[in-house]
Structure 1
Amino acid sequence: MAQVLEFKLPDLGEGLTEAEIVRWLVEVGDVVAIDQPVVEVETAKAMVEVPCPYGGVVTARFGEEGSELPVGAPLLTVAVGATGGSSASGGDDGAAAEEPSAASGSGAASASGSGSASGSGNVLVGYGTGAPAARRRRIRPERNTAPAQPVFAVPAPVAAPPAPAPVAAGEVNGRRGPVAVVSPLVRRLARQHEIDLRRLTGSGPDGLILRADVDSAIRQAGEATEAATHTAAEPAVADVRTVQAGAAAPVAERIPLRGVRGAVADKLSRSRSEIPDATCWVDTDATELMAARAAMNAASGPSGGPKVPVLALLARICTAALKRYPELNSTVDTAAREIVRLPAVHLGFAAQTERGLVVPVVRDAHTRNAESVGAEIARLTELARTGKLSPAQLTGGTFTLNNYGVFGVDGSTPIINHPEAAMLGVGRIMPKPWVHNGELAVRQVVQLSLTFDHRVCDGGTAGGFLRYVADCVEQPAVLLRTL
């Protein structure tokens, strides 16, 4: 006799309370194995695939792609075990359900499946190996004389909650088929403008459809519509003007603040409301630093390993500066009214992705050299680009490095990444006229800006930190002397 078990959206950790369904990986009627990923969801921190702790047949899915579910809400139901189609002895036609009391809390407890089925190997929060069944339903097949049905051919349980019409993976505007889209923002934008993603050719890696592809399709559709309207309107210009004069005013577009954008908005708002921040900046001659980087990469040879990026050198300079000025590697316990100086430097760096701004964290950056930091930055950047960063890789930072120079701007006043105490901003490095050795010359100049929490230190400490960073940029030998 089969059991129909309900799998609820588990607690994905880091205090997350909801997630948005990006893509279903299974359909109703599919057979799934224990720990098989069944859905891809986007939280405020990362894009994750959620594995199902049960093995059996999917009988229902709850929620369409693009919808948001709270933690603990039903995600799907799975029929675990075999059922036959032989005639049942006695009783009315249909299915009789028996439900023992379910465990309370997010996700409830998992079931061990049918008699011999083993529990889940990868334990989710709220689910685990050997836990009692969350819900059990005994299903009595209809009485008939037909031959036995195949294993897992389970009739829909009567007591199961009604599910919305299932949406297949890759379904867009009622059309089925695989669509190479990762970002839910791209899907939403396409739905709003009635763009069929299946007709687009992605410009990203492996044909991935990016927002730029959708924007281009929207422009083309608008141009085509405008041309058709212009052609049709030529014989009756006066009538068109009359209609336009009486047309309703355009309605403002409302975009929900949720997912990564919502999390960023909450964190920035909290930073501004809690932290009395101040910013200081300095223009710096980065010519010697760029020359040192070129020498490092030339010494490695064509096959001597990955190149050292400028960001890695700046990260190494920051860790040395934080050793001299530990006040800036701290946080404030507002309840206890204490400054907490942190023993390790977990360096965050701002990365712009299709999902929005994220800050991956290089753990124990103070123990790494420039090459190691560069390799870790490259690894985390690739994970950010593909939306595969875990919540743990996006939290726990103690100091943030923000290279906004990649956007072609010289300076900025960064907002501190709460609950950290400081952030170093780096503008673009570009040739400018500069007085060098008493003469006017063209040098590679960069603007460095430091935003700091005025509760943890005063301007003298912040200025000392920034001046040391600038000295290391202008004369890399300064860093060598202090190593």
Structure 2
Amino acid sequence: MAQVLEFKLPDLGEGLTEAEIVRWLVEVGDVVAVDQPVVEVETAKAMVEVPCPYGGVVTARFGEEGTELPVGAPLLTVAVGAAPSPGGTAAGGAQEAAAVTATDAGESPRADTGPAQAEGSGNVLVGYGTGAAPARRRRVRPTAPAGASAHTSVGSDAAATAPPPAPGAANGHRGDGPVPVISPLVRRLARENGLDLRELTGSGPDGLILRADVEYALRAAAAQGRPATATQPRPEAVPAPSAPAPLPASAAPGETRIPLKGVRGAVADKLSRSRREIPDATCWVDADATELMRARAAMNASGGPKISLLALLARICTAALARFPELNSTVDTAAREVVRLDRVHLGFAAQTGRGLVVPVVRDAHTRDAESLTAEFARLTEAAHAGALTPAELTGGTFTLNNYGVFGVDGSTPIINHPEAAMLGVGRIVPKPWVHEGELAVRQVVQLSLTFDHRVCDGGTAGGFLRYVADCVEQPAVLLRTV
């Protein structure tokens, strides 16, 4: 006889106490294997796929996509301990699977299906670049064991028996099947703007709808002065309310209220805490980066992996921190002690579709320029794919912020709590500069250092920044520490 086991949201580490359901990877009636990911959740640190420790048939799910659950709350139940029946389900999950099969046949909707689930929408996955292939593949549900019916997995029977698309499908109408979309963010963007995804033709592989496709449709609708909705929402997907939903009591006409939750909420909390606790100060200096740019060009012309400018700046940072270790520290407010750290875990600011994140390069002081370049590239790709782990987003001891990529010269950033300092780098642009006693056009960059005044005074901070500027102006200075 099958035993129904309840799987609860596990402790995800890093002191996290809750998570938001972004996307269900299984449906009621699906057969799952041990350690198969069943749901994708977003914590205050990162996206996480949660694997189920049981193998069997999913008999129930708890929580809509977009719902926040505390650690320990039920996620789903699984019927285990029985062989799949000819109908494709274990004995304990036969009724639930039958209900799902009936739904696919069009008999009745599932009881737990809300608007978000009916549309297959998620909540806050990062978008991808225009025309790019998806960085994360769609998960294919496992095939049922031998002898199991095609009705074991929701959607698998529909895919197997669905008729070929009508001739008009290529022009927008897609029928009743799921719409292929690159990420849940695209579904949310379309849903919030009243855009029917079935009216779009995707520009991605196999007609995959990209974020750029949705944004183009919204711009086209705005240019024509009409609503973005090409057709009314399908009644089976979005039940029509009996009356317009009233505005929240705190919202005024013309306002849009965006909840501070997930990564955005975590960033807000951290920045607020930094501003409350850290008495920060900023100093800055202009530096002639002409020789640094020439050195990088020479490195890349010699063959081998290309060296990024960020990697060279990181190498300069680690050399400067070796001379001024006060800035590689944190403050224990409870003990009223400055804690100096002997390892440099270098964070770097990365802007993504989900907001600002700070991936961390572990033991940056032990890496050369090639290794730093490779690690920056790996972490940046993971950040844009929403695939950074909590461990890759925590534990930094010093942050490098290259805000020059936004086309600005200077900034006074908020320190990444609980670190003690952040180096900011502006854009490198040609400017008039006195070089060897004569006016010349040189590649100039503004460097800024925001530091915790509790860990050091201005003399130490100024010495650190001046050493960084000297290395930028004369990269050969780094040879002393190679």
Aligned equivalent of 1:171, options 120, 140, 152:
120
Q: Which residue of 2 aligns with 1:296?
A: 299
Q: Which amino acid aligns with 2:120?
A: E
Q: CA deviation at 1:215?
A: 3.5
The superposition leaves residues 170-200 of structure 1 with CA deviations (integer Å, 9 ceiling, x where unpaired) of 625997515333354x443322211234544
Q: Which residue of 2 aligns with 1:26?
A: 26
Q: CA deviation at 1:224?
A: 3.4
Q: Which residue of 2 aligns with 1:152?
A: 90
Alpha-carbon contact 1:170-1:179 (below 8 Å) kept? no
Gaps of 5+ in 1: 86-147, 229-247
Alignment partner of 2:302: what SS? helix
Counterpart-to-counterpart distance in 1, 2:252 and 2:63? 34
Q: CA deviation at 1:21?
A: 1.6
Q: CA deviation at 1:411?
A: 0.7
What percent of counterpart residues are identical?
Answer: 80
Moved more, 411-420 or 59-68: 59-68
Moved more, 14-23 or 456-465: 14-23
Q: Which residue of 2 aligns with 1:387?
A: 386
Structure 1 residues 296 and 24, CA, compared in 2 at 3 Å: closer, same or farther? same
Q: Which residue of 2 aligns with 1:364?
A: 363
Q: Which residue of 2 aligns with 1:462?
A: 461
Counterpart-to-counterpart distance in 1, 2:388 and 2:205? 18
Considering only CA atoms, is the larger Rg found in Structure 1 or Structure 2? 1
**2:339 maps to 1:340:** yes
Q: Which residue of 1 aligns with 2:289?
A: 286
CA RMSD between the two structures:
2.8
Alpha-carbon contact 1:2-1:79 (below 8 Å) kept? yes
Q: Which residue of 2 aligns with 1:182?
A: 183
Counterpart mapping for 1:162-311 below 5 A:
164-165=112-113, 171-172=120-121, 176-182=177-183, 184=185, 186-200=186-200, 212-226=212-226, 250-300=253-303, 304=304, 306-311=305-310
Counterpart-to-counterpart distance in 2, 1:396 and 1:359? 10
Q: Which residue of 1 aligns with 2:104?
A: none
Counterpart-to-counterpart distance in 1, 2:370 and 2:292? 15
Counterpart-to-counterpart distance in 2, 1:22 and 1:39? 8
Alpha-carbon contact 1:24-1:169 (below 8 Å) kept? no
Q: Which residue of 2 aligns with 1:101?
A: none
Q: CA deviation at 1:206?
A: 9.1
**2:370 maps to 1:432:** no
Counterpart-to-counterpart distance in 2, 1:364 and 1:152? 50
Alpha-carbon contact 1:319-1:345 (below 8 Å) kept? yes
Q: Which amino acid aligns with 2:32?
A: V
- The two structures have a TM-score, normalised by structure 1, of 0.76
Alpha-carbon contact 1:203-1:213 (below 8 Å) kept? yes
Structure 1 residues 189 and 450, CA, compared in 2 at 3 Å: closer, same or farther? same
Q: Which amino acid aligns with 2:300?
A: N
Alignment partner of 1:461: what SS? helix
- The two structures have a TM-score, normalised by structure 2, of 0.76
Moved more, 55-64 or 334-343: 55-64
Moved more, 467-476 or 17-26: 17-26
Alignment partner of 1:472: what SS? helix
Counterpart-to-counterpart distance in 1, 2:215 and 2:308? 32
Counterpart-to-counterpart distance in 2, 1:418 and 1:476? 31
Q: Which residue of 2 aligns with 1:448?
A: 447
Counterpart-to-counterpart distance in 1, 2:288 and 2:312? 15
Counterpart-to-counterpart distance in 2, 1:206 and 1:295? 43
The superposition leaves residues 342-393 of structure 1 with CA deviations (integer Å, 9 ceiling, x where unpaired) of 0100000111111111111110001111111111111111111111110001
Q: Which amino acid aligns with 1:71?
A: V
Q: CA deviation at 1:221?
A: 2.5
Q: Which residue of 2 aligns with 1:129?
A: none
Q: Which residue of 1 aligns with 2:350?
A: 351
Q: Which residue of 2 aligns with 1:53?
A: 53
The superposition leaves residues 227-281 of structure 1 with CA deviations (integer Å, 9 ceiling, x where unpaired) of 99xxxxxxxxxxxxxxxxxxx9833111000111001001000000000000011
Q: CA deviation at 1:480?
A: 1.0
Structure 1 residues 377 and 84, CA, compared in 2 at 3 Å: closer, same or farther? closer
Alpha-carbon contact 2:29-2:57 (below 8 Å) kept? yes
The superposition leaves residues 294-317 of structure 1 with CA deviations (integer Å, 9 ceiling, x where unpaired) of 0001112xxx2x210000000000
Q: CA deviation at 1:216?
A: 3.2
Alpha-carbon contact 1:183-1:354 (below 8 Å) kept? no
Q: Which amino acid aligns with 1:363?
A: R
Q: CA deviation at 1:38?
A: 0.8
Counterpart-to-counterpart distance in 2, 1:13 and 1:199? 42
Gaps of 5+ in 2: 97-109, 123-174, 229-250
Alpha-carbon contact 1:179-1:198 (below 8 Å) kept? no
Q: Which residue of 2 aligns with 1:121?
A: none
Alignment partner of 1:272: what SS? helix
Q: Which amino acid aligns with 2:364?
A: A
Counterpart-to-counterpart distance in 1, 2:198 and 2:430? 45
Counterpart mapping for 1:65-104 below 5 A:
65-82=65-82
Counterpart-to-counterpart distance in 1, 2:74 and 2:15? 19
Structure 1 residues 24 and 204, CA, compared in 2 at 3 Å: closer, same or farther? same
Alignment partner of 1:375: what SS? helix
Counterpart-to-counterpart distance in 2, 1:210 and 1:467? 46
Moved more, 416-425 or 249-258: 249-258
Counterpart-to-counterpart distance in 1, 2:307 and 2:19? 37
Q: CA deviation at 1:225?
A: 4.2
Q: CA deviation at 1:210?
A: 5.8
Moved more, 448-457 or 367-376: 367-376
Alignment partner of 1:278: what SS? strand
Q: Which residue of 2 aligns with 1:42?
A: 42
